[in-house]
């Protein structure tokens, strides 16, 4: 019966087997080293960016509600002051009417014909009777004025009640937006803390802008106030991002631009959306230092053009006021206050 023993491998067979084994091992190593999908920390960074964007949108909504709350608070205070003044006038009018009524009672309690008979001086009686008529007419006028004042007082009190109701609603809105911002920022911090130290360092390096002064020569500001506003913004370089803050120790994006223009004597609205509409729109390629550059379709971020393709802005929590390229994200508008 024929033998079926396995033939020993030749030299060339052994070489081929070794090469095949090496290639298989190398493929396994390369496959492990180069994943087909993005690295986990890239996904984390993308999620952090999304949370920062949503937090900034909620921050601008918070700023708007807070500004509305301040306005309503001032309106309530003004109405309350007006009510207090009216109440004082009403009290004075009531006191005066009481005095007039007492005088009329004391002088006019008798029947006129009896008073005339008892009077030693008819001319004196007639003078007193004329005075009583005048007092009666004056009293009637005072009563009408009192009624008018009471109607106004009631209207003002009703207005104060409505304004207080709007104020309380606005306060609830502010609190809701504040919770949203804090929740999203806390989640972003949690995700960043989940990265390794080397990944966090790489993330910080990739996000860092310029705190130094870039070359801004070649373009002049559109006006003296725009130049003054830019100088103010530059003085804030390195200050921290603080959501809801408008200086001078910390800023959010619209807080920085509002504060900077305030130093130049220009009052800007509080929110990035309102600031984007507070002036003349100009094309991006015609932007000049001091112009306001709004970002994203909803204008939820804003910075100030500094010249030579750079903006100065308060980027997001954890990043100080700094310079970044104007094209760092999609530009929605450029406004010249």
DSSP E strand boundaries for 69-172: none
The DSSP bridge partners found for residue 30 are none
Beta bridge partners of 331: 295
Separation of alpha carbons 294 and 309, rounded Å = 14
Find where tokens 């090496």 sit: 22
Q: Coil, strand, or helix at residue 4?
A: coil
Active-site choice (41, 52, 177, 301)? 301
What gap in Å lies between CA 307 and CA 297, rounded to an integer?
23
Alpha-carbon span 336 to 327, nearest angstrom:
18
Q: Is the dihedral of CA 314, 315, 319, 323 positive or negative?
A: negative
Q: Which of 41, 52, 177, 313 is catalytic?
A: 313
Tokens of 332: 């929605």
* Given the residues 41, 52, 177, 253, the one annotated as active site: 253
Does 313 qualify as catalytic in the annotation? yes
- How many beta carbons lie within 10 A of that of residue 89, not counting itself? 14
Q: Is 52 tagged catalytic?
A: no
Q: How far apart are CA 56 and CA 61, in angstroms?
A: 9
Residue 119 burial by Cβ neighbours in a 10 Å radius (0-12, 13-18, 19+): middle
The neighbour count for residue 32, using CB atoms within 10 Å, is 8
Contacts for 137 with CB less than 8 Å, ≥ 6 apart: none
- φ, ψ (nearest 5 deg) of residue 196: -70, 165
**Pair of tokens at residue 308:** 């030579």
Catalytic status, residue 4: no
**Catalytic residue set:** 253, 301, 313
């Amino acid at each position: 019966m024929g033998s079926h023993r396995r033939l020993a491998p030749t030299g060339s067979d052994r070489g081929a087997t070794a090469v095949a084994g090496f290639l298989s091992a190398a493929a396994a190593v390369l496959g492990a080293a180069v994943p087909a999908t993005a690295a986990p920390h890239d996904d984390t960074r993308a999620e952090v960016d999304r949370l920062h964007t949503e937090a900034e949108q909620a921050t601008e909504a918070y700023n708007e509600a807070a500004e509305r709350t301040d306005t309503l608070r001032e309106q309530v205070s003004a109405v309350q002051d007006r009510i207090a003044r009216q109440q004082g006038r009403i009290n004075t009018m009531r006191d005066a009417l009481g005095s007039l009524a007492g005088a009329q009672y004391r002088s006019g309690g008798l029947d006129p014909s009896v008073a005339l008979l008892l009077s030693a001086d008819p001319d004196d009686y007639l003078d007193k009777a004329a005075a009583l008529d005048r007092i009666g007419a004056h009293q009637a006028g005072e009563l009408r004025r009192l009624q008018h004042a009471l109607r106004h007082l009631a209207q003002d009190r009703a207005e104060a009640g409505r304004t207080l109701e709007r104020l309380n609603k606005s306060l609830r809105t502010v609190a809701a937006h504040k919770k949203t911002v804090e929740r999203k920022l806390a989640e972003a911090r949690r995700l960043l803390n989940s990265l390794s130290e080397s990944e966090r360092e790489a993330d910080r390096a990739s996000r860092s802008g310029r705190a130094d002064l870039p070359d801004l020569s070649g373009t002049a500001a559109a006006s003296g106030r725009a130049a003054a506003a830019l100088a103010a913004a530059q003085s804030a370089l390195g200050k921290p991002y603080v959501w809801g803050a408008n200086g001078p120790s910390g800023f959010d994006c619209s807080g920085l631009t509002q504060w900077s223009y305030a130093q130049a004597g220009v009052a800007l609205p509080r929110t990035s959306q309102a600031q984007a509409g507070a002036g003349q729109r100009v094309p991006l390629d015609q932007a000049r230092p001091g112009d306001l550059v709004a970002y994203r379709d909803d204008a939820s971020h804003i910075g100030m053009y500094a010249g030579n393709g750079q903006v100065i802005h308060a980027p997001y929590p954890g990043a100080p006021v700094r310079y970044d390229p104007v094209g760092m994200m999609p530009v929605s508008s450029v406004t010249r206050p």
